[in-house]
Structure 1
Amino acid sequence: MSQIFNLCLATDTLAADAEQLGVTIADLQGIQIEVVATLVNRAKTAQPTNTKWQLQLDYCITLPLKSLAAQLYWPTWQAEQVGFADYLWEQTCLECFLAGELINSAVSINENNNKTNPYMEINASPDGRYALYQFADYRNPATLPLAPLLQGNGQTRASIDWKATPFSVSNAAHNAALQAGSMPTSSFNGPLIAGAKTYHFERSFYLSLNQLSQVQTTNDEIGIEYIHPCVILSFDTKFGKTALYFAPNHAVPPDFHDTQYWSIFDEKVAMLKPHSIL
């Protein structure tokens, strides 16, 4: 099983965004983004601990128009790009915020005996770059660039693992195919769907939970209490860059760090049983 999130577009600048992109408000509201969160147990023993649990995040983006697909910044995934990088939110960025006891028990920047509410942020670019950060409480620290989240040993940077090698189309190839009229009506990281009228983009990655704490937990104590998957889509228009912000719920203006809009993480729903792993 998995916990599924259907992300909504922030609407505070919707009319201006539609004008810049040369589409209607309804076209922008037709963009669909689904994020699937799954707890995958990689343990081979009957009593797994959090050293084998991974949080898998699958992002599926569906654009309703060829013109939007042509303007979307969606770089090709490249193995040599995989690694830590700051400022990923300045372009198309796949994000997820997490809070709970697992984050509290990590080697923490919080010096107040957990009287505040620590949380972590994952940023991932379609090209393979990523960043993980920890906050003691709301946007604290605020100085950029942020210090990377460290693993439980306090020395190694936390990281994500990409699920398989995505098959993607870069913007240059995308635009060339569109201009030549050779792009199929559906273009994404998988088999083409005959007759489809939408454009799909997908990425998936894992977060190994043993990086966040040296404390061993059982199946019933994963330690993630809140989750907030988000996406920033960046478009290159003739007027410059336009960013659209997606999340399950939004503050106004959009603020992914505002925890009152986060969702409760349902571990039982998200948990994939060991025998279900292929």
Structure 2
Amino acid sequence: MSQTFNLCIATETLANDAQQLSVSTDTLHDIRVVVHATIVQQPTLQLQLAYQITLPTQSLADQLHWPTWEETRVGFTDYLWEESCLECFIAGSALDQDSADSSSTAAYIEVNASPDGRYALYQFESYRNPATLPPPPLLLANGRTCAKIDWIDHPDLQMPSVGVNRAHNSSAAHTLYNYKRTFSVPIKERSSQNFAISNMVVEHIHPCVILWFGETALYFAPSHASPPDFHNRRYWTRFDSKAALLNQLASSIATER
């Protein structure tokens, strides 16, 4: 089991978006974006984020910008939000470097990942602060090296797939177009069901997705501000470490048996 997020599409410009893409608004609502957050050991402790995207029509699949994953492209790259981008915002309490104590903070981390392997991790002190573009990178403890993600499950083999969905009590078949990517971010266990990223205890998490179809961008999140703003913490979800841990515990038990 993982903590599962069912992302919904931002609707402020939905009618115009549908017109530009020559589909109905109902078709855009039928796009499914699901993210699973799981704490795994591989071999170090990681927060694994699995993104699954399902498009309901070939027309949308033909227009989607979804670049092929390439090993040579893996590396830190800015401005990924200008393309199809898998994102996650993480916030919590700041850890005291000299003790086990933590304190409230407005700081948060933004993770960006392109389907082709490029990525970026940014550190904000508070809401969109600093406002410079690109934002300052999240650095490791040495203060010089940029933090990174690890790609999982050989994404070079995760080609878009086509599936058939047959409605219950119906002979009608509906073709679906599936896309997925999985990556992980290193974390540390501070105590039982208490995990930290870069001296920040993970308390809130907000996975998001930007999908570009030609010149049209669609925005997906568990819930949206109006207008859409992924950085608005009011709409972030409490991180359920217990749910995220269950999958790892079950795997460990199965391995021991």
TM over 0.5: yes
C-alpha distance 203-40 of structure 1, shift in aligned 2 (>3 A): same
Residue deviations 1:178-232 (CA, integer Å, cap 9, x gap): xxxxxxxxx42xxx5466611000000010114xxxxx62333212100000000
- SS in structure 2 opposite 1:4? strand
* Letter of the structure 2 residue corresponding to residue 260 of structure 1: R
Task: Look up the match of 2:64.
Answer: 72
- Describe the SS at the equivalent of 1:217: strand
User: What is the match of residue 106 of structure 2?
Assistant: 117
In structure 1, the partner of 2:53 is: 61
- Give the equivalent residue in structure 1 for 2:167: none
Equivalent residues of 1:83, 1:129 under 8 A apart: yes
Match of 2:204 in 1: 226
Residue of structure 2 in register with 1:25 after alignment: 25
Look up the match of 1:110: none
1:172 aligned residue: none
Tell me the equivalent position of 1:179.
Answer: none
SS at match of 1:35: strand
Does structure 2 conserve the Cα–Cα contact (< 8 Å) formed by 1:106 and 1:151? Answer: no
- Name 1:160's counterpart in structure 2: 149
In structure 2, distance between residues paired with 1:162 and 1:9: 26
Q: Using the alignment, how far apart are the partners of 2:24 and 2:130 within structure 1?
A: 38
Deviations 1:8-56 (A, max 9, x none): 000000000000000000000000000000011346xxxxxxxx32000
Amino acid at match of 1:23: V
Q: Quote the Cα distance in structure 2 between the aligned partners of 1:76 and 1:277.
A: 34
Q: 1:116: how far off? A: 4.5
**Residue 41 (1) aligns with residue 41 (2):** yes
How many equivalent residue pairs?
234
CA shift, 1:151, in A, is 1.1
Q: Within 5 Å, which residues of 2 pair with 1:62-141?
A: 62-101=54-93, 104-105=94-95, 116-141=105-130
CA pair 277-118 structure 1, distance change in 2 beyond 3 A: farther
Q: Tell me, yes or no, if the aligned pair for 1:151 and 1:158 is still in contact at 8 Å.
A: yes
CA distance in 2, matches of 1:250, 1:33: 14
Q: How do 1:241-256 residues align onto structure 2 when only pairs under 5 Å count?
A: 241-256=215-230
Contact (CA 8 Å) 2:49, 2:183: kept in 1 or not?
yes
**Structure number with higher strand proportion:** 2
1:233-275 deviations in Å (ceiling 9; x for gaps): 0011xxxx10000000000110000000000000001112261
Could you tell me how far apart the structure 2 residues matched to 1:6 and 1:247 are?
8
Give the 3 Å change call, closer, same or farther, for CA 259–276 of structure 1 in structure 2.
farther
Please tell me whether the aligned partners of residues 98 and 121 of structure 1 are also in contact (alpha carbons under 8 angstroms): yes
State the distance in 1 between where 2:30 and 2:192 align.
39
Query: How is 1:169-180 mapped onto 2 (pairs within 5 angstroms)?
Result: 169=159
Q: CA deviation at 1:115?
A: 6.7
Report the equivalent of 1:181.
none
Q: SS in structure 2 opposite 1:153?
A: coil
Name 1:11's counterpart in structure 2.
Answer: 11
Unaligned runs of 5+ in 2: 165-172, 196-200
Task: Using structure 1 for the length normalisation, give the TM-score.
Answer: 0.79
Give the whole-Å Cα distance in 2 for the aligned partners of 1:206 and 1:277: 22
Contact 2:92 2:104 in 1 (8 A): no
Partner-residue secondary structure (3-state), 2:8: strand
Q: Quick one: which amino acid aligns to residue 194 of structure 2?
A: E
AA of the residue aligned to 2:52: C
Consecutive aligned runs of 4 or more in structure 1 exceeding 3 Å deviation = 113-116, 192-196
**Corresponding residue for 1:275?**
252
